[in-house]
Amino acid sequence: MSSVVIKGLYKKYENGTVAVSNFNADISPKEFFVILGPSGCGKSTLIRMIAGLEDITKGGIFIDGTPIQTIPPKNRGVALVLNNQTLYPNMTVYENLEFGLKLRKVPKNEIASRIDEVAQLLEIGPILDRKPAALSGGQRCRIAFGRAIIQNPKVILMDEPLANFDAKLRATIRSELKAVHAQLGKTVIYLTKDQAEAAELGSRILVMRNGTVQQTGTYEELYNSPVNLFVAKFIGEPQMNICEAELFTKDNRLWLRFGEGFTVALPEKASTPHLMRYSGKRVLMGIRPSDISLGFEGGDKDGSAISMTAESVELLGTHVTLNLVSRAVSLVVISSSATKVKSEEEVKIILNTEKLHLFDGDTERRIN
């Protein structure tokens, strides 16, 4: 139950690579905190600095208010779980679990009771006398997690622990991990590239890019109000549709012009003085595939209903993904009511203008 605060953290490797820059995070006790970002964005470097495996160039890391830079790694109270963590092949599960504790000279009876506790928590009692070769991938992952928990750390650091598993196993272990965390109540910092993992596990998610924090929030906050184009594109599956557009004013209201001659009015309340300043400017317009609906009846006075050609139609379960292309615009739409749409067919769509995301064309920061 420990807090972790990271202030102005910076890491420059000897070869000049800046892997982490001006990084700040404030992680609460018991939180399952996910750091989400593409490969190479600095996640491992960050976690290795917390674990003490990498020096800090600048800034500070505090556990329960105490700076940890000068504390040797083994005394920091952090345990690290990696994705390629190999168990000792010649040892049983029991011996793998006790190994670290024996090194620390923990008394034998305490080792036994801790293993007993962890075995119950992770439901691995029946496999304690097996060797790793006789375990499934999921079981091995559980033992790797067990080896971290058993040290009774203040903070558990997990570096893409499920990266090597197939989608089905990942989903199973994810929900197990969630249940174990709820029982255990430890602070967890979890790294991943996978937004589905982040969404399911993270009480909050920090989106990282090029060593910097882009946004921290719940999945819903990141999904509904991404602060910039990177977060908008990184969160949500399929990806948010983005197209270049121009804002203009007509009858005291803001409109968007995009593609070859499409126009759409923004909701009246969106015409704020702040946004009005962008009138006449190039912006980036974002709309999620699920915020576009099919078909319209009656008038089209604000232009939110437009006609486009279905370039391809993919049916997945009860939903259809349409790729629409017309007049220099291409949009992906997900709908449950389009199962009869055929490729090359003309479809009418309505953009839910309440759900439009607008970004500055130059800075790519959110403006609405």
List residues binding ligand ADP (CB under 6 A).
13, 15, 17, 19, 37, 39-45
Do the strands 58-63 and 4-12 form a parallel or antiparallel pair, or are they unpaired? antiparallel
Choose between 31 and 159: whose C-beta lies nearer to ligand ADP: 159
Choose between 14 and 260: whose C-beta lies nearer to ligand ADP: 14
Nearest-approach distance from CB 110 to ligand ADP, in angstroms: 35
Nearest-approach distance from CB 177 to ligand ADP, in angstroms: 19
Choose between 230 and 359: whose C-beta lies nearer to ligand ADP: 230
Residues 6+ apart with CB under 8 A from 211: 11, 18, 19, 20, 21, 23, 41, 42, 45
Choose between 8 and 238: whose C-beta lies nearer to ligand ADP: 8
Instruction: State the Cα–Cα distance between residues 40 and 158, nearest whole angstrom.
Output: 16
Choose between 19 and 141: whose C-beta lies nearer to ligand ADP: 19
Nearest-approach distance from CB 16 to ligand ADP, in angstroms: 8
Nearest-approach distance from CB 53 to ligand ADP, in angstroms: 10
Instruction: State the Cα–Cα distance between residues 17 and 11, nearest whole angstrom.
Output: 8
Nearest-approach distance from CB 117 to ligand ADP, in angstroms: 32
Choose between 11 and 147: whose C-beta lies nearer to ligand ADP: 11
Q: Which strands sit side by side in the sheet containing 66-67, from one edge to the other? A: 18-27, 4-12, 58-63, 66-67
Instruction: State the Cα–Cα distance between residues 1 and 185, nearest whole angstrom.
Output: 7
| CA dihedral sign, ordered 146, 151, 156, 157 | negative
Residues 6+ apart with CB under 8 A from 324: 308, 309, 310, 311, 330, 331, 332, 333, 347, 349
Residues 6+ apart with CB under 8 A from 329: 243, 258, 259, 260, 262, 308
List the beta bridge partners of residue 6: 25, 61
Choose between 11 and 357: whose C-beta lies nearer to ligand ADP: 11
Nearest-approach distance from CB 46 to ligand ADP, in angstroms: 7
Instruction: State the Cα–Cα distance between residues 323 and 308, nearest whole angstrom.
Output: 10
Instruction: State the Cα–Cα distance between residues 15 and 324, nearest whole angstrom.
Output: 46
Tokens of 313: 């139609």
Nearest-approach distance from CB 170 to ligand ADP, in angstroms: 18
Choose between 211 and 286: whose C-beta lies nearer to ligand ADP: 211
Nearest-approach distance from CB 188 to ligand ADP, in angstroms: 17
Helix, strand and coil percent figures for the chain, each rounded to 5:
30, 35, 35
